[in-house]
Amino acid sequence: MNLKISKVKQKLKNGEACFGTMLRILKSPQAVPMCASEGWDYVLLDTEHNDYDYETLGNFCALAKYEEMALFVRVPDKLYHQMAQMLDIGAEGLVLPQVKTREETERIIRSTKYAPLGKRGVSISSTVTLFRDYDIEIYTTWANEELMTVVQIESEEGMANLVDIVATPGVDAIMIGPADLSDDMGIPGQIHHPRMESAFREVIRQCDIYGVAPGIHLNNLDDVKKWRAEGMRFITYSYDTKFFKDASREALQSLRSFG
């Protein structure tokens, strides 16, 4: 069995769009093949705001190795042990919240890349290799090439330092966090505000210049249609609880209409 190649990275490098969704409360690893069966490019496990434990994360990551769909993890913070350990557990990429400066971005790359690109401590993951034996050089080269590094722009400071962040070697994609960015701008939740839309377009412009995939997390299909047309390519849509609530609401309205 070969080490898993990132189809998300391949598609983004080819200028294509990738669509994923976020998991917040689903704890059964069966969620991985369920999402893969519907054709998502990736799922994102959110450990920043939710209560996934390491055993659950490890089980999700192991099962994801048998699917083409990628499995990414959003870590709570940009701390070495949270980043490196999550990759050792088997995450195929990390989403890093609240990135504000080039210095933070460079520290992320040092923590997530092996030498010569970074300083990540070497430990061959049994989950990643599915207990197959690999030469260290083969494994570290694969990890540097295939694991995704996605940084989130969620503040005015991050926007002010956008060029420096996007230009940092090793960044694969940006994922705007509209809720936090609008809150930091003093216009909480107003993602259609002209200042927000201007920020979105600037992220797209700078990402295109530096060969980084521009992305965003959205919960409304009309918004996805608009920003996909304007150039967003790494798009995280909705999350598990919203899918369930929306489907339940629609079904219940239909059921009650029967009398």
Annotation says 49 is catalytic: yes
Is residue 84 within 8 Å of residue 108, measured between CB atoms? no
In the set 49, 81, 192, 193, the catalytic residue is 49
> Which pairing describes strands 42-46 and 173-176: parallel, antiparallel, or unpaired?
unpaired
Q: In DSSP terms, which residues pair with 235 in a beta bridge? A: 19, 216
Taking the chain (259 residues) in consecutive chunks of 10 residues, what is each chunk's mean pLDDT?
A: 94 98 97 98 97 95 97 97 96 98 98 98 96 97 98 98 98 98 98 98 98 98 98 98 97 95
Query: Can you give the pLDDT at residue 259?
Result: 83
Residue appearing with tokens 């933070």: 104
Q: What are phi and psi of 21, to 5 degrees?
A: -135, 165
Please state whether the predicted TM-score (pTM) of the whole model is above 0.85. Answer: yes
- The span from the CA of 32 to the CA of 150, in Å, is 20
Given the candidates 2.120.10.30, 3.20.20.60, 3.40.350.10, 3.40.50.300, the CATH classification of the domain at 7-257 is 3.20.20.60
Of 20, 25, 24, nearest to 8 by C-alpha is 20
Of 72, 88, 1, 9, nearest to 35 by C-alpha is 72
Query: Can you give the pLDDT at residue 72?
Result: 98
